[in-house]
Amino acid sequence: MIGEAIEALGRLCRSRALVWALARRELKARYRGSALGYLWSLLNPLLLLAVYSIVFTVVFSPRGADIHPYPLFLFGGILAWNFFSGSLLDASETFRTNGPLLRKVIVAPEVFPGVSVAAQAVHFLLALPVLAAATAYAHVRSGTPVGWPALQLVPVMILLGACATGGALAVSAVSVHWRDLRDLLRSVLTFGFFASPIVYAIPSLPERVRPWARLNPAAFYFHALHDAVFACRWIGPADWIGMAISSLIALGVGGAVFSRLRDSIAEVA
């Protein structure tokens, strides 16, 4: 299993130039004919932040009202979640979309789930200036300027990207043989969103629920993200260990599943 996973990940790494080339092609196709083009990747998160600010400051106060400013807390988590969930959902369709290309061109099939993750990573990077500006404004307004801990966002997102890559490899291979996976995946991701500390902080949960919430592997990533960006404090060792272990497991399992099914992908896609 470990050997198969290493082989799959090795083929993906060796094809990284092709991954980025296809990711650029996919992004160009997505925005073709749009008046604003890539600016939508910046404008959409900006509008999202504006909506959250109005809803959660004017309309109603959410659970855990001690979280200030709550729109920023929510916005950072949702950006990271959209990157992760978007990678998996795109990967579940990648071979259905690129099947003809895979059959005509000699290319490692690992490239296509890699493209799904790379394209979503670009969307996240384009939204990052909005998150950075909102974070700086919130901290300056509260009298606590952003410090070095905010830079921890980089390794947190790298680890989340590794986890998304492992998931994308498994999802893309399995979805070729089981077409219903995408619909099931949507439901699982919806549950995962509310089971993860994205719209709430773990300390705001009832005490009896908190140990169960911490069993969710996603909790490590979003708790760490909120520590780095929202609270601007250093991430604890437990979260780093949890993120590293879950990322390695995702890469290992995803790579092994893909290797087991890769020979039949071109035939079925």
Cβ 8 vs Cβ 255: under 8 Å: yes
pLDDT in tens, 220-268: 999 999 999 888 889 999 999 999 999 999 999 998 899 888 877 765 5
For residues 138-151, give the mean pLDDT. Answer: 80
Please tell me whether the overall predicted TM-score, pTM, comes out greater than 0.95 for this model.
Answer: no
Cβ 228 vs Cβ 148: under 8 Å: no
- Which range among 55-64, 101-110, 191-200, 206-215 has the greatest average pLDDT? 191-200
pLDDT at 213 over 70: yes
Q: Could you tell me which residue, 46 or 152, shows the higher pLDDT? A: 152
For the chain, what percent of residues have pLDDT higher than 70? 84
pLDDT at 105 over 90: no
Q: Tell me the pLDDT of the chain averaged across its residues.
A: 82
Q: Could you tell me which residue, 151 or 69, shows the higher pLDDT? A: 151
Type of residue at 52: Y
In whole angstroms, give the CA distance from residue 228 to residue 221: 11
pLDDT at 130 over 70: yes
In whole angstroms, give the CA distance from residue 86 to residue 181: 14
pLDDT at 85 over 60: yes
Joined tokens for residue 113: 């789930």
Q: With both helix axes pointing from N to C terminus, report the angle between 70-104 and 111-142 in degrees, rounded to the nearest 10.
A: 170
Tally of residues, the chain: 269
For residues 156-172, give the mean pLDDT. Answer: 95
Q: What was the pLDDT predicted at 84?
A: 95
For the chain, what percent of residues have pLDDT higher than 90? 30
Q: H or E stretch including 133?
A: helix 111-142
Q: With both helix axes pointing from N to C terminus, report the angle between 70-104 and 181-195 in degrees, rounded to the nearest 10.
A: 160
Q: What was the pLDDT predicted at 60?
A: 61
In whole angstroms, give the CA distance from residue 249 to residue 243: 10
Residue 143 region, left (φ>0) first, then alpha (ψ -120 to 50), else beta?
left
Residue 32's CB is within 10 A of a number of other CB atoms, namely 8
Please give the distance of CA 29 from its chain centroid, rounded to a whole number. Answer: 21
